[in-house]
Structure 1
Amino acid sequence: MKFASEFRDPALARSLLSAIAARADAIGATRDKPLHIMEICGGHTHAIFRYGLDKLVHEGIEFIHGPGCPVCVLPMSRVDECIEIASRPEVIFTTFGDAMRVPGAKGSLLQAKARGADIRMVYSPLDALELARRNPGREVVFFGLGFETTTPSTALSILQAAREGLGNFSVFCNHITVPEPIRALLGDPDMVLDGFIGPGHVSMVIGIHPYDFIAAEFGKPIVVAGFEPTDLLQSVLMLLTQIADGRAEVENQYARVVPEHGNPASLAAIAEIYERRPSFEWRGLGEIDASGLKIRDGYGAWDAERKFGVGYGAGRAVQPEPEGCACGAVMTGRIKPTACPAFGHGCTPEMPLGALMVSSEGACAAYWQYGGARAAAE
């Protein structure tokens, strides 16, 4: 398959693994004193486990799973607010499938649907727009969720709704940004990180320069990576080369897809529709300054928070994690999923306590599906 099979070539993978091992030995990385490399993106976490890269790389390399799953970092209070909006009889609430089973304090959207709320899974905000056109007597709300990858499509949908005058369409905006939580992690004295694998899809939109502070201020190398096995292996080798050379730079392994300065049309749509929130709550990280986006006043007619009086503008109660759930610690790389006392016992994909077990980018789901953890738990 063009643009996939060549990045899964076994001979190339073996060559990269040998080069990684030689470089790790030269640096002095060992099982007891490993280099800690954080893959920011949940898609990278799943690729690492799907292809067994965690077991194939040199024993002196330890992957740390970062907060790069937007469904997983959403606080429980925001899920509860989704349910509050969706439970109104005039509302058709639309969402991506990943978010349907994420638990809040009041249950999940799927459970709210079972109780009678009109909640529908969509594949794009354009699907929600079409529902609004077909149902002029109903309020259609789209759950705007995700990092910079999905932010432009939501912005363009709001622009289209404004052009058409679709007053029965609105967005419950929970879009967040990648650089700010990385800054928060690097400011934590307990976090030991030697380098970062940067997110490929996010970087398609924003480019590579928003990560400059990682190298310039904190002296850590970062390599933006693709999602195929040889992409990730080459990225690890590039990080080790920087460490061996005593360098800390932003490098782009995924240059075939990621432009240096991002996508101008997407960035323009984001700037038109959104502004920064003063702060936003992240599961496991707490409030992080300027890490969330909100809809600008000029497009307030399509802002579900204003329309229904929920969210940050209306005050809210922060909900603690369920007892026994360690999602926050897993998501910030402090522990592995298997160290959570609920993993595989009180928390499974069928009956999840936390979002990391149900999201397609969650670290716990990756361990369960690919890491052999399911068999161990059962």
Structure 2
Amino acid sequence: MKYIDEFQNPDLARRLLDDIRSTVTRPWALMEVCGGQTHTIIRHGIDQLLPDPVELIHGPGCPVCVTPLEVIDKALEIASRPEVIFCSFGDMLRVPGTGRDLFQVRGEGGDVRVVYSPLDALRIARENPDREVVFFGIGFETTAPPNAMTVHQARRLGIRNFSLLVSHVRVPPAIEAIMQSPDCRVQAFLAAGHVCSVMGVGEYPALADRYRVPIVVTGFEPLDILEGVRRTVRQLERGEHTVENAYSRAVRPEGNPSALAMLEDVFEVTDRAWRGIGVIPDSGWRLSPRYRDYDAEYRFSVTGIHTREPAECRSGEVLQGLLKPNECEAFGTTCTPRSPLGATMVSSEGACAAYYLYRRLDATTDPLEASPVA
């Protein structure tokens, strides 16, 4: 297959759905661990096209959504300083902190700029040697290597007015935290293909064995999702719990050696707080001592900022798969993309944003009317 359209073929989708229906004999709950996969599922109505015994649970796979409130507040504090040019991807600008967001900081006179690569921020630093340039480095294993490379380049080129505000997180510890929760209903995982394209699959077999859950590495198009579900359901019905790679066109078992080497050089593993979830041991990265001079938290002395999550936002339950977005009483009423209570409503990969965008306002939407793969 060479083209994206081939991964949205409705005839192939029906065949995969028929195979799943003929295989499943009892209820199974599967979690997709990627916000991009969640948007594909909701956009195409895949969760509603599946047979009733198969439930898809949305996991904490949105990097913007899991960035904790206190990190947002640190970003707001740094971005407000007159000597700073604060650079970020656009999806972070409307994420609410305590009382405001980065758009408001920009409206108040802060120099907040949207960039499309961390290297854009490094270029801005070279062009503005009299200003401090900070890049907001968030995300999973997919965005960590380019951010690491940018810090490596800054050090190599001797650019001293550049720093990184780091909030990188790692998927395998999050899976372990989910499985250890007393409220966990997850029986299998669809692993994020882009994460595994960087990291490989080496960390997953131990998780599959320890918690006796199938883990299938899956892509992002409708047929990718359905194939991942098909393989997962087959394992569950057979009582198996292995790691399968259903995204071999992009994922190699060993991952990307160059990216892994860069991560090893620039970052070190650390405990990380996840928004709405709490601290997960060894679930993130921070700059290693060798690169500590490029850590914006230390450069701007904001390590002491600590913030409580707002009680009215239930995004933590959504991120843990305990609540569907349209089951929240604030969804679509007091919480909308124009007036969000949490990041899951404004992020391009947030589950709440997907439900709102594709009008999944309640559980009665007929997928056969709207789904391209129906």
TM bin (shorter chain): over 0.9
How far apart are residue 146 of structure 1 and its match? 0.3
Match of 2:324 in 1: 336
Measure, in 1, the Cα distance between the counterparts of 2:164 and 2:312. Answer: 33
Measure, in 2, the Cα distance between the counterparts of 1:170 and 1:136. Answer: 13
Measure, in 1, the Cα distance between the counterparts of 2:262 and 2:155. Answer: 13
Q: Is 1:298 aligned with 2:286?
A: no
The answer on whether the counterparts of 1:76 and 1:319 sit within 8 Å (CA) in structure 2 is: yes
% of aligned pairs identical?
48
Residue 319 of structure 1: which of 298, 308, 317 is its match?
308
Report the secondary structure of 1:68's partner residue.
coil
Q: Is 1:206 aligned with 2:194?
A: no
Report the secondary structure of 2:60's partner residue.
strand
Q: Which moved more, 1:187-196 or 1:1-10?
A: 1-10
Report the secondary structure of 2:247's partner residue.
coil
Report the secondary structure of 1:299's partner residue.
helix
How far apart are residue 133 of structure 1 and its match? 0.9
Q: Which amino acid aligns with 2:201?
A: I
The two structures have a TM-score, normalised by structure 2, of 0.95
The answer on whether the counterparts of 1:173 and 1:294 sit within 8 Å (CA) in structure 2 is: yes
Report the secondary structure of 2:67's partner residue.
coil
- Residues 102 and 216 of structure 1: is their aligned pair in 2 closer, same or farther, counting only changes over 3 Å? same
How far apart are residue 284 of structure 1 and its match? 2.1
Report the secondary structure of 2:149's partner residue.
helix
- Residues 276 and 344 of structure 1: is their aligned pair in 2 closer, same or farther, counting only changes over 3 Å? same
The two structures have a TM-score, normalised by structure 1, of 0.94
Number of residue pairs matched? 365
Q: Is 1:225 aligned with 2:214?
A: no
Query: Alpha-carbon deviations, 1:233-277, whole Å to 9, x = none?
Result: 011010011112211001000011011111000000000000112
How far apart are residue 280 of structure 1 and its match? 1.5
Match of 1:265 in 2: 258
Report the secondary structure of 2:87's partner residue.
strand
The answer on whether the counterparts of 2:43 and 2:358 sit within 8 Å (CA) in structure 1 is: yes
Q: Which amino acid aligns with 2:299?
A: K
How far apart are residue 206 of structure 1 and its match? 0.4
Query: Alpha-carbon deviations, 1:289-313, whole Å to 9, x = none?
Result: 11121111111221111211123xx
Q: Which amino acid aligns with 1:349?
A: P
Match of 1:121 in 2: 114
The answer on whether the counterparts of 1:226 and 1:232 sit within 8 Å (CA) in structure 2 is: yes
How far apart are residue 324 of structure 1 and its match? 2.2
Match of 1:215 in 2: 208
Measure, in 2, the Cα distance between the counterparts of 1:341 and 1:374. Answer: 11
Q: 1:162-241 residue pairs with structure 2 within 5 A? A: 162-241=155-234
Q: Which amino acid aligns with 2:279?
A: E
Q: Which moved more, 1:365-374 or 1:187-196?
A: 365-374
How far apart are residue 43 of structure 1 and its match? 0.5
Report the secondary structure of 2:52's partner residue.
coil
How far apart are residue 317 of structure 1 and its match? 2.0
Q: 1:284-295 residue pairs with structure 2 within 5 A? A: 284-295=276-287
Query: Alpha-carbon deviations, 1:178-227, whole Å to 9, x = none?
Result: 11111111001211111110001111100112112221100000101011
Match of 2:6 in 1: 6
Report the secondary structure of 1:72's partner residue.
helix
The answer on whether the counterparts of 1:214 and 1:221 sit within 8 Å (CA) in structure 2 is: no
How far apart are residue 374 of structure 1 and its match? 8.5
Q: Which amino acid aligns with 1:308?
A: F
Residue 302 of structure 2: which of 300, 310, 317 is its match?
310
Show structure 2 runs of 5+ residues with no match: 365-374
Q: Which amino acid aligns with 1:17?
A: L
Q: Is 1:249 aligned with 2:242?
A: yes
Match of 1:365 in 2: 353
Match of 1:60 in 2: 53
| Structural RMSD (CA) | 1.6
Report the secondary structure of 2:153's partner residue.
helix
Q: Which moved more, 1:247-256 or 1:283-292?
A: 283-292
- Residues 179 and 212 of structure 1: is their aligned pair in 2 closer, same or farther, counting only changes over 3 Å? same
Measure, in 1, the Cα distance between the counterparts of 2:243 and 2:111. Answer: 45
Q: Which amino acid aligns with 2:134?
A: V
Show structure 1 runs of 5+ residues with no match: none
Q: Which moved more, 1:205-214 or 1:232-241?
A: 205-214
Measure, in 2, the Cα distance between the counterparts of 1:213 and 1:363. Answer: 28
Report the secondary structure of 1:64's partner residue.
strand
Report the secondary structure of 1:130's partner residue.
helix
Report the secondary structure of 2:63's partner residue.
coil
Q: Which amino acid aligns with 2:230?
A: L
Q: Which amino acid aligns with 1:295?
A: L
Report the secondary structure of 1:103's partner residue.
coil
Q: Which amino acid aligns with 1:334?
A: L
Measure, in 1, the Cα distance between the counterparts of 2:28 and 2:332. Answer: 28
Residue 151 of structure 2: which of 151, 155, 158 is its match?
158
Match of 1:139 in 2: 132
